[in-house]
Chain A
């Protein structure tokens, strides 16, 4: 299917506040949304950081009350969401500010969903199940990767089924996304690497997605270029503000791209692995991405050629297929350069999981927009390669 088949396109985005010290806008932003008492969602890893205190300080300065909640883990669980929603309702807050990476942001979205729609988060798994507006949400992102601060997605682990649930709804798009490059400094090299490759996978998958459109393509392309140029430096040096800032912009662009163009098989599969093993989403993506690209190559070689170009590869004179191959090798090289040079088994993934996870991945929403039709066997083959 090519783009001309989709006659209508749509692009959604929150208000975005980007830049050095953008975090100082959090109080006023909340005030503008009519908030009186803020439910601040963060996680144990970041709650002690100085900029969580800064967020609270800005809220204070705006004359807002708040309650801080951080009872969550990475790959947030349905039970944590339920507790958070209970806490939110009990606290009589009327707006949510999430501070952190994908986990607190997705948790915040889910808490907001239950707060006004009731029930449990499982009720909203799938597409457009939310029927009532959510409380105002402001997302202060601290990782350049997930892009969750701008998307219409929330990924929550169903603890019993050991499975990631994907919740998709226009209503999950936050009201305001605040992206302040200063916040990136605090991350270690491994996390910077993982989130960086995560952003790259967002950009590449949304670029070749069946739902891609000109508005999302521009952002995907820009993200790929920025990541190829800056990720290595960002991982290399904690205080390289220029590189960090560029990575943040890349993550934001990728987020906007995939929020509108959706993703592909890499994410459909990675969701299963992460749900099972509680792994960092970025790493899994980084490992799976080149293998999925190989599988998809015949469906969108032309686009991969452009990806290769964006990543700085010289494709002049190469055939379409060879040029596309360049993109795959460029991704591999980048991953290796920043230290992701291992397979899935290094992260505790076992062969036995493959049949089950391959089947499950077929039910993931992301598989729909993958450019090449895939069945369970196809996905299993990819898993084997990536071991």
Chain B
């Protein structure tokens, strides 16, 4: 027996030596083998490619996982696919298919997934019964997974998560399949990172857009050809809005409702100076806008676009006008106070002495009349001074019951002389039964003085027959009772094109050293503060007619 064994052994050795059972290894079979591997690898790359193609940037992670799960079985066994992502210092199960009810839970620290994070290396496992028992991972237990391929998702050498592929078969993943799952994980890492970055960009974009929209002033981004690139849709009160919803192409059409570019457009200036520019626009409607141009530069310092910021400053301008007017009044008041003080003493002496001479008697009949005149004129002087002081007083007195006829008289005491000096007749036509109105007398003084002085100025060019009529009346309307004071002249009138503008602050037809353009705008402001208004009628060449309208029962706000 032993001998036979030896013989067989020797025979075997000799057969090996002479190569009965071996042949020269053939290149064809080698190439075929490699080819098969390459085809397999190609298929896998194709699958990765398809998966990546399927994934959109705005897909949710669970959608991504679902897509991969659909394709993956074409390349390797896959009964379970899970994705865990790092959040701060925790590894959170983020998406999985099929669902094992642990989405959103942190991965136990002893899990193989954590090992992938720590070692930053792809691994395949085939778990023994014993190993499976120690695994706490719900998918392993629920799905009865035996084989696992676990790959860390690496972005810029940081592990951002772990991809877990599981199979119920033993040894489902060969070592050389690590390459495939590794590639898949790398691609997924890129997708996930891209999605994250995209969301970040989207969020900050939304943030900016909302900031932009939150501004109530219109802001537009326009290019060099006045095309609107972007705008925040705030168009309140701009002329473009008048004809319904304006076209959003050219800025001049959209904002200003024009067919050509604005005459005062500063675009050229901005281009020339490479610096922001600003202009103020007053519309016929009285609306005033500040228009700012801010150039936006490309990296090469060329202007890429211009930010157009339009601010409605109508109210602000009105305030400014009132402020200037009251400054003016304050100056008058200060001066008047001084003058009054200086004049009061001599006037007291003049009036006092005249009265004493009268009382002593023994005066000629002629002289009595003369003295009486001195006394009357003296008293009138004191009243004028008093009126001047009252008119220019700064303090905001509360409204009080006021008779407008009295206001007319007090105003006339101040300005009648000036008006008469210009050879103007003043015709009074006052209704003696006017009820009192609640008003600030000093402010109404201002209004009437303004209107009277304007009327006088309008008569400058009349050769003769200059006439101002002051009429007070009660007007009954649906909304209640009004007192009207009309001041009409037979002067040159107001040209039709200006009739809209006269109440605009700083609008004036007078020479620059005579008018400030404040009077009418401030007057209108005062009338409105009393719940009233100022009406105007004008026939160029025949005269103008301004009416102050004050409600009888104005509820103070």
Contacts and interface: CB of A to CB of B under 8 A. Distances in A.
Interface of A: 1, 5-6, 8-10, 12, 127-128, 130-134, 152, 168-171, 173, 210-211, 260-262, 365, 368-369
A369 B17 contact: yes
Interface in B1-35: 7, 10-11, 13-20, 22-27, 30
B13 A368 contact: yes
A10 B18 contact: yes
A218 to B, nearest CB: 16
Interface string B132-159: 0000000000000000000000000000
17 contacts: A1-B7, A8-B20, A128-B22, A130-B25, A131-B25, A133-B24, A133-B25, A133-B26, A168-B17, A170-B25, A171-B25, A210-B10, A211-B17, A262-B14, A262-B17, A368-B10, A369-B17
A153 to B, nearest CB: 10
B30 A127 contact: no
A127 B16 contact: yes
A299 to B, nearest CB: 14
Contacts of B17: 127, 168, 211, 262, 365, 368-369
Interface of B: 7, 10-11, 13-20, 22-27, 30
Given A10-B20, A128-B16, A368-B17, 4 more contacts: A10-B18, A133-B25, A168-B19, A170-B23
B484 to A, nearest CB: 109
A262 to B, nearest CB: 5
Contact of A211 (B18, B24, B25): B18
A6 B19 contact: no
Nearest to B16: A127
Nearest to B34: A132
A24 B27 CA distance: 27
A368 B10 CA distance: 7
Contacts, number: 58
Contacts of B7: 1
A369 B19 contact: no
B261 to A, nearest CB: 70
B73 to A, nearest CB: 32
A136 to B, nearest CB: 9
B24 A6 contact: no
B13 to A, nearest CB: 5
Nearest to B17: A262
A211 B22 contact: no
A365 B18 CA distance: 11
Contacts of B27: 133
Contacts of B10: 1, 210, 368
B37 to A, nearest CB: 13
A365 B26 CA distance: 25
Nearest to A210: B14
Contacts of A12: 19, 24
Contacts of A169: 22
A170 B22 CA distance: 7
A174 to B, nearest CB: 10
A170 B11 contact: no
Contacts of A368: 10, 13-14, 17
A368 B18 CA distance: 11
Nearest to A173: B24
A12 B23 CA distance: 9
B29 to A, nearest CB: 8
B519 to A, nearest CB: 99
A211 B14 contact: yes
A134 B26 CA distance: 9
A94 to B, nearest CB: 12
A369 B18 CA distance: 10
Given A1-B7, A368-B13, A132 B18 contact: no
A127 B19 CA distance: 9
B30 A132 contact: yes
Nearest to A168: B17
Contacts of B30: 132-133
Nearest to A128: B22
A211 B12 CA distance: 11
A12 B24 CA distance: 9
A155 to B, nearest CB: 15
Given A170-B19, A262-B17, A365-B17, A5 B24 contact: no
